[in-house]
Each structure stands twice: as C-alpha cells, then as structure tokens.
Chains A and B, each alone.
Chain A
Amino acid sequence: MSVIELTLIILIGSYFAGLLGSLTGLGGGFIIIPLLTLLLHVDIHYAIGASLVSVIATSSGSAAAYVKEGITNMRLGMFLEIATTAGALAGAILAIYTPTHYIAILFGLILILSAIMSLRKKTRQITQHKSYLAQKLKLNSSYPTTDGMLEYGVSNVTGGFFMMLFAGVISGLIGIGSGALKVVAMDNIMRIPFKVSTTTSNFMIGVTAAASAVVYLQRGYIDPALSMPVVIGVLLGAITGSKILVQSTSSKWIRVIFSVIISVLAVQMIYKGVMGKI
C-alpha cells in the first residue's frame, strides 16, 4: 500500500473512531488500536503510540471548554494526577518488556469492561459526607447546576487514589485514556457527582497520557507519519461528536451499537493475542 492510500484510510477510520469515542465518552483509542492492528497489520507499539497522541489532543481540547464552565474539580484532578502519572510511567516501562500478544489480550479485556461500564445507568448522587482526608486536601467543592451551585463531598480518598494508580498503569500499558476506569474510581469509590467526575477525568487524561507518551516517544514508538492522520482524524471526529451531543439528548442507542462493535473488536483482539498472531 502506498503512503497516500494508507494515510487516507487511517484518516477516515480515525474520524469515525473520534466520533464514536466522543459520543460514548470512551475515547477514540478503543477503535483506533484494533483498526490499526487487526485491519492494517500495524505493529501494536506504533498503534499505541499514535493512540496516546490522539488521546492528548482530544482531552486537552475538551478540557479547555469544561474548565471554563467551572465544573471540573481542579484540586481533585491535581491530587489524583500524582497517582495516574506515576501509574502511567510504570505502565509505559512495563509495555516495553511485555510481549505484544499479552498487551492485545489485556486490551481486549479492558475493552469489554469499558463497554459494560458505558451502558450503566447514571444516577445523580450527592454526598454531604466530608471525610477527614478530603477536608485536609480541600477536595470538597461545588459545581453549577440549573438550580444554582451545588455543594458536594468526597469520600474514600485513599481507595480512589489506588484505583487511579491502576487506571494510570492501564493507560500507559495499552495507550488509551482509560476514562472508564477513572470514572469508576470517582463515581463508585469517591461518590462524586457524575458531571464532575467525567469532566475531571477528562482533565486528567491529557497529563496521564503525556507521562507515558514521553517514554514511548524516546523509544521510537511514536511514528510521525502514522500518528499524523490518527491525531487529525480523531480530533475532527471528536469535534463533530461534541456538536451532535449538544443537539441530541438521547444517545442510548449509540451506546448500545458502540458496545456491540467494541465487544466484537475485543473478542478479535483476545483471539489474535491467544493465538500469538499479534
């Protein structure tokens, strides 16, 4: 295949990956990595490198918008970034020594887990419980809603911190934003309102990905010619996705379709990994 053909195919594929990733909130990496490895037979290390770069672009772009709205809890994000960056560093180093077929299997498993997570019902929860650590770290905050500013508390800081460490390792190891895992940590463990947890998770994804991207970059895993169409495609797709999200309120069916696609890809990745074909 010539460079121009490959670039166009990746550009179009990345556009749809970015679109679906933004509509479901899972991020573009979930489609990009299987697209590159399964369909185009790109080495998984290059695929992860390109995916990481696109993750930084989309999360930074949308974080810029969210931060202005004042929903993002910057102190909470900053504090948890200690865990995610340390994890991402460990994950990126681990990735260098992990055989590619194990990475493929792990990728498939995380993919399925995230698909299930994205189908979960989101209920608005507010805890007024203020734990000692959360108070010490000034994590309790408020965010704007239609009924004015709403105060919320943060519980189980330690548990959330360790879950973030794990999310960071996964992000560095398989090159995704692992937004689903971050949301689990903040929603289920730290009991933070859904809107705050998604925007704060998005805020952290860029730094987390950057921490492992610097390792991938120096290892030569970030190929400019391959990353170029991925970054541009995913970013344009994500922008389109955010425009659609504003217009339509019901995106339940998109999530269902996306979960089906993701499960098929996941099974393929696991199969190829087990057979040692990746």
Chain B
Amino acid sequence: MNKLKDTDIQATIGWVLRTGVILSIAIVLFGGAVYIYRHGHDIANYSTFKDESDFAQLTGIINGILTFRGRAIIQGGIILLIATPIIRVAFSAIGFLFEKDYLYTGITLLVLLIIFISMLSGHTG
C-alpha cells in the first residue's frame, strides 16, 4: 500500500519537473527571439560586473514583460526554471503528508524554509 502511494508521488514529481522545464525553456526561447531581433547588432560587454539590477527584482521584470522587453521575458522564463525544483519540493511535502509520513513532511518543510531564507538573504544582505 505504502509502495503504491510512493509511485503516485514519483509520477506527479516527474510531471512537475518535465512541465516546468519545457514551459520555461519555451519562454526563454521566445524572449531570446524578441531580444535578438531588437538588439542583435548592439555591442555586447560582460567583462565587468555592472550593478544595474534592472532584472534582479520582480517589479522590474514584471514591468519589462508588460512593455514586451525581450530580456525581461527571458528572465521570467529563468525564474520559472529556478522555481521548478522548489515547486517539486512543495509537491513532495504534500505527498508525504498524504502518506501520513510526518517525519518526512517535516524534513521537506525544513528544506523549503532554507530556500525561503535564501530568498530573503538575497534581498537584504
């Protein structure tokens, strides 16, 4: 019985991961096409790090997507990609809860908490 439930969780997790990757890559490709079409002949320079975080904060990215900026769309896809394994962890927590495996529900929530702290530390530090 327990084993059957485990395979259910595995199937769901596999689906979450595959869908997340396909969707985010499609968005990145689309944004990339827009960006190359508009800025393909600009001069690229990445030799030094510039502290212009246009696409580091969510508000900047959303504004960019609304004004149809290629790089903002790419960044939206990248954020979805980064979110994919995190969503996978959240799904695992629900799965363990359904199995009444409270030890692993706790362990999974702890992992989510660490990632959450990670998000906050990037903001303030």
In contact, A2 and B43 (Cβ under 8 angstroms): yes
- Compute how far the CA of A82 lies from the CA of B106 in the bound complex, rounded to whole angstroms: 11
- Compute how far the CA of A88 lies from the CA of B46 in the bound complex, rounded to whole angstroms: 25
A215 touches B (CB below 8 Å): yes
**What DSSP secondary structure best describes chain B's contact surface?**
helix
9-residue interface stretch from A27-35, A38-46, A121-129, A189-197: A38-46
How distant is A54 from chain B, measured CB to nearest CB, in Å? Answer: 9
Contact with A1, one of B14, B44, B86 (Cβ below 8 angstroms): B44
- Compute how far the CA of A65 lies from the CA of B11 in the bound complex, rounded to whole angstroms: 10
Known: A60-B20, A215-B122. A231 touches B36 (CB 8 A): no
Contacts A/B (CB < 8 Å), 23 sampled: A3-B35, A3-B43, A3-B44, A43-B47, A53-B78, A60-B85, A64-B18, A70-B7, A78-B104, A81-B89, A82-B107, A85-B111, A85-B118, A206-B85, A206-B88, A211-B115, A216-B122, A217-B79, A222-B55, A224-B55, A224-B75, A228-B32, A232-B32
Query: Interface of A with B (CB < 8 Å)?
Result: 1-7, 40-43, 45-46, 53, 56-57, 59-61, 63-65, 67-68, 70, 72, 74-75, 78-79, 81-82, 85-86, 88-89, 92-93, 96, 137-138, 206-207, 209-229, 231-232, 235
Query: Interface of B with A (CB < 8 Å)?
Result: 6-7, 9-11, 13-15, 17-18, 20-21, 24-25, 28-29, 31-32, 35-36, 39-44, 46-53, 55-57, 71-72, 74-75, 78-79, 81-86, 88-89, 92, 101, 103-104, 107-108, 110-111, 114-115, 117-119, 121-123, 125
